[in-house]
């Protein structure tokens, strides 16, 4: 029996109040989020590159520092839609979860926490070559000499996501980009005497969060770029379900739902909607329109019995007959005929597939090919007779004379679709005779 996952949910009234409070707060202002995976950048080319003096890998970015060696630096490039940057009041560069922050080696072989600082700076040199995976001459000097766009310190183990607010120079550079590309260079500084790095591989994007003045004016003291509720004042930034959306504006604050889906627009998210009030939210309820707290699902098709028009399936094989067959060993082949009825024991139509096989053939005899299966649809309590000719081949040394062979029915639902069917009466057997002659 298939069982459905259950999760505890708060009372519907509490959820309704939270949803109505979010709606009463007024229309939401959402910050603009640009990512380094934006397809508008260079057609057919990755938009982020790791660029070091010796190697370059498109689609990744990494920054490291090694005392006594040249630093590696990365270029992050964002496509800026027209009109977005002109009204920017603030912007923050976020280096994402999913990156690896590590110390590459220590002289004593140990592993300890360390404070690192990542710097963002202007890149006046067009990094198109770096985007193509080529090391651009002069790139590293250009990064070092560019205007500072901001910096942020973080603990190796304490802050897996880095938020780096852009300085006034960085914001001016973004505003100047308009419908173009905004490029940022990154470098890393360590207070330790050993090497540190962070690396972000395929599938992990850096983000540039851009906030307008409207985005900033939600009544709390939290900056838009880190505010998890941009339209509602929530200084505490409470996020009970850890989905990145603050409780004050979350359509379902007790269930993880970063997409904030609300299909019927009632202010209560689909993730915590319980239409039939049976204690199971719709997303986990196998019958969301009819109460069924037991979640019974007799045929294991994912639809609860309470709303499944065909909750159980039962086909029976009846009245099987096996022919009397004679095979001349000189010829070596013959056909054994098997016939039986397929009966639908339910009060709704059922599709089926039927076949047959043989058991107990004499020594040196075997089935040389199964017949074509027969498919059909039986009406409620309906019945259909099916017949099969099964080819049998016997060798010259097979025992002559009369033998008993057993025919076996093979029936199943068609298509199967994962349904569970009562199979106790699917298989029926009956004996026939097979005579082998010279």
- Where residue 20 falls among pLDDT bands split at 50, 70, 90? very low
pTM of the complete model:
0.45
pLDDT digits (tens, 9 = 90+) for 166-222: 889 988 888 887 657 787 877 777 665 555 556 655 445 677 888 877 777 777 777
Exposed e or buried b per residue across 185-217, where buried means at least 16 C-beta atoms within 10 angstroms of its C-beta: bbbbebebebbbbbbbeeebbbbbbbbbeebbe
Q: Which residues contact 4 (CB under 8 A, 6 or more apart)?
A: 280, 284, 285, 286, 295, 297, 304
For 413, the 3-state DSSP assignment is: strand
Please state, in angstroms and rounded to a whole number, the distance separating the CA atoms of residues 384 and 403: 30
pLDDT digits (tens, 9 = 90+) for 331-353: 999 999 999 999 999 999 999 99
Cβ proximity of 299 and 308 under 8 Å? yes
For 177, the 3-state DSSP assignment is: helix
Please state, in angstroms and rounded to a whole number, the distance separating the CA atoms of residues 6 and 279: 9
Mind listing the domains of the chain with CATH numbers?
Answer: 1-22+236-309 (no CATH), 32-214 (no CATH), 315-437 (2.60.40.10)
Alpha helices in 85-190 (DSSP H): 128-131, 139-145, 168-177
Taking the CA atoms of 9, 13, 14 and 16 in sequence, report the sign of the dihedral they define. positive
pLDDT digits (tens, 9 = 90+) for 99-148: 555 555 555 555 445 566 777 888 765 545 444 444 455 555 666 667 88
Residue with tokens 């909607």: 273
Q: Which of 417, 410, 385, 386 is nearest to 310 (CA)?
A: 417
């Amino acid at each position: 029996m298939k069982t459905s996952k259950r999760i505890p949910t708060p009372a519907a009234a509490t959820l309704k109040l939270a949803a109505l409070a979010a709606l009463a707060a007024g229309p939401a202002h959402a910050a603009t989020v640009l990512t380094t995976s934006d397809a508008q950048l260079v057609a057919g080319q990755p938009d982020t590159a790791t660029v070091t003096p010796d190697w370059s890998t498109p689609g990744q970015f990494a920054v490291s520092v090694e005392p006594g060696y040249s630093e590696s630096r990365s270029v992050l490039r964002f496509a800026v839609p027209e009109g977005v940057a002109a009204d920017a009041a603030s912007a923050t560069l976020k280096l994402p979860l999913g990156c690896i922050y590590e110390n590459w080696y220590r002289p004593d072989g140990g592993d300890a926490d360390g404070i690192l600082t990542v710097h963002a700076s202007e890149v006046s040199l067009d990094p198109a070559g770096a985007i193509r995976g080529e090391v651009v001459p002069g790139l590293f000097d250009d990064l070092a000499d560019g205007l500072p766009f901001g910096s942020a310190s973080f603990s190796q183990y304490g802050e897996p996501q880095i938020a780096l607010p852009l300085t006034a120079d960085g914001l001016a550079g973004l505003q100047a980009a308009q419908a173009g590309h905004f490029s940022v260079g990154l470098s890393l500084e360590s207070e330790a005497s050993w090497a540190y790095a962070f690396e972000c591989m395929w599938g992990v994007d850096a983000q540039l969060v851009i906030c307008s003045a409207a985005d900033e004016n939600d009544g709390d003291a939290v900056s838009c770029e880190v505010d998890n509720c941009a339209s509602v004042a929530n200084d505490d930034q409470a996020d009970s379900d850890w989905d990145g959306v603050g409780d004050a504006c979350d359509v379902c604050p007790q269930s993880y739902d970063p997409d904030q889906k609300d299909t019927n627009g009632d202010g209560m998210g689909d993730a915590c909607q319980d239409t039939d009030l049976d204690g199971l939210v719709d997303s986990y309820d196998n019958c969301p329109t009819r109460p069924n707290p037991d979640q019974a699902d007799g045929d294991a098709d994912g639809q609860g019995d309470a709303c499944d028009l065909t909750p159980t399936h039962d086909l029976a094989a009846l009245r099987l007959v096996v022919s009397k067959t004679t095979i001349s060993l000189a010829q070596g082949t013959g056909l054994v005929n098997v016939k039986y009825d397929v009966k639908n024991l339910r009060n709704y139509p059922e599709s089926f597939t039927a076949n047959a096989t043989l058991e107990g053939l004499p020594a040196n005899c075997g089935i040389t090919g199964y017949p074509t299966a027969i498919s059909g649809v039986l009406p409620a309590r309906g019945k259909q007779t099916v017949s099969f000719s099964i080819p049998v081949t016997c060798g010259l040394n097979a025992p002559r004379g009369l033998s008993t062979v057993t025919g076996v029915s093979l029936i199943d639902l068609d298509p199967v679709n994962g349904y569970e069917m009562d199979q106790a009466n699917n298989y029926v057997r009956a004996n026939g005779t097979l005579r082998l002659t010279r």
